[in-house]
Amino acid sequence: MSPQLQGVLVPHWLLMRDPRVEPFAAKRWVEARGDPDRFIEVSFEWITKNVSFCTDQNCFGQDEFVQMPAETLTSGYGDCDCSALSLVSVLWLRGVPSHMVFGYVGNSSHRWVEAFYKHEWWVFDTTTGGRFLASQALKRGYEKLFEVTPFSVRPSFLPVPLPLP
């Protein structure tokens, strides 16, 4: 018998549309003085310093659970899904091109963010605090499977995003 699931399963792309993160985004935008690159930096730094990693089992008593971005920013904990979702949600509110990546680091499933930063795509790993050029991801052991934005899902081997219903 499988364990009883609590809550509702909602696609990640829908979770990214959490309007309750607007005050957080507005505050970071002011701190960044309206500069998109600086906005990425201050948002990423705040999340990596203030959202502690906690497994779904330890935090929520479930094998898989994803909080809404505003809940992650408020509670201050979550796993890689939660922190990556939060960063993408914040960045999209200010028009910063970005997406959450579903993939693997080594043999472990992992989620991270790629954002257009300093005229190139960069990896922002909200769990480790690491950031580097996306072109170096595979060399660093980051294997991309899917990219998810608030409005599209794209397997990494397709050249254009798949439209969502």
We report the CATH number of the domain holding residue 69 as 3.10.620.30
- pLDDT interval class at 113 (50, 70, 90): very high
Residue 4 covered by a domain = no
Q: How many domains does the chain have?
A: 1
- pLDDT interval class at 4 (50, 70, 90): very low
Residue 3 covered by a domain = no
Residue 58 covered by a domain = yes
Helix, strand or coil, per DSSP, at residue 86: helix
CA distance 73 to 10: 19
Residue 1 covered by a domain = no
Please tell me the number of Cα atoms within 13 Å of 49 on its side-chain side: 6
- pLDDT interval class at 140 (50, 70, 90): very high
Give the number of other CB atoms < 10 A from CB of residue 11: 12
Tens of pLDDT, residues 30-76: 999 999 999 999 999 999 999 999 987 898 888 888 888 999 999 99
pLDDT of residue 118 exceeding 60, the answer is yes
Query: Which H or E run contains 50?
Result: helix 36-50
- Give the residue numbers spanning the domain of 27: 12-163
The alpha-helical segments, DSSP class H, found in 21-103 are 22-31, 36-50, 56-60, 69-75, 80-93
Residue 7 covered by a domain = no
CA distance 40 to 87: 9
Tens of pLDDT, residues 5-29: 344 445 666 777 888 999 999 999 9
